[in-house]
Amino acid sequence: MLWGKFPVSASWKPKQIRYSERWFEVFENSDEDLIEVKIGALIMDPNTNTPIVVLKGVDSDAVLPIWVGSFEANAIALEVEKIVPQRPMTHDLLRNLILELGLSASRVIVTDLLNNTFYASIELINSAGDPVILDSRPSDAIALALRLDCPIYVKQKVLDLSASSRKDDSDPDSGDLGPAPDDWPELIG
């Protein structure tokens, strides 16, 4: 058996990669459209018992709640509390890999909100100074940003979509969604 050699038929062609329009928007990030945020709070949604990471504007009153999984919330909480596990967790492993490969973290951006799903990108810089942009879930991007000590941004469009989404979902027949966006600053102080 030859390692690294795989039989390929003459008719084999690589699959064409399809990128969504959303992916190309990652490259159109204008700093004017970005709001720098930090972790404002990590709370539990009392209705769904799901963790929520509340991002709060550094120089603005922007507030963005993002519902995340329990494992991701735990990874974020460990880093916020500066608790070092005995063995590296997944996000620690990713940080170590990024640093060992000679990459540096530039920033993390929450880039979009589609069908109640947030999207993010992790922007790295390679040793040649070229950007390396990775598509990510916001929870993973935030956990990694905390470990790499890089800034977190949210596109203004996402804040606008989130606010309008919460207003659209405030129909009494749709169930109790918890506090309205205007009430978030009270929850996180």
Tens of pLDDT along 33-83? 999 999 999 999 999 999 999 999 999 999 999 999 999 999 999 999 999
pLDDT score for 31: 72
Domain limits at 121?
A: 29-168
Quick check: is 16 in a domain?
A: no
Joined together, the tokens standing for residue 143 give 């956990």
Quick check: is 177 in a domain?
A: no
Query: Rounded distance, CA 110 to CA 100, Å?
Result: 25
pLDDT score for 56: 97
Low-confidence ranges of the chain (pLDDT < 70): 1-30, 164-189
Quick check: is 136 in a domain?
A: yes
Q: What share of the chain is helix, strand, coil (3-state, %, to 5)?
A: 35, 30, 35
45 to each of 32, 55, 69, 93, how far by Cα in Å? 32, 15, 12, 29
Query: Rounded distance, CA 81 to CA 62, Å?
Result: 23
pLDDT score for 189: 56
pLDDT score for 23: 47
51 neighbors 67 (Cβ within 8 angstroms): yes
Quick check: is 152 in a domain?
A: yes
Quick check: is 118 in a domain?
A: yes
Count: domains in the chain? 1
Quick check: is 20 in a domain?
A: no
Q: What is the CATH number of the domain that holds 111?
A: 3.10.690.10
Quick check: is 138 in a domain?
A: yes
Closest CA to 159 of 40, 47, 55: 55
106 neighbors 124 (Cβ within 8 angstroms): yes
DSSP letter for 156, please. H
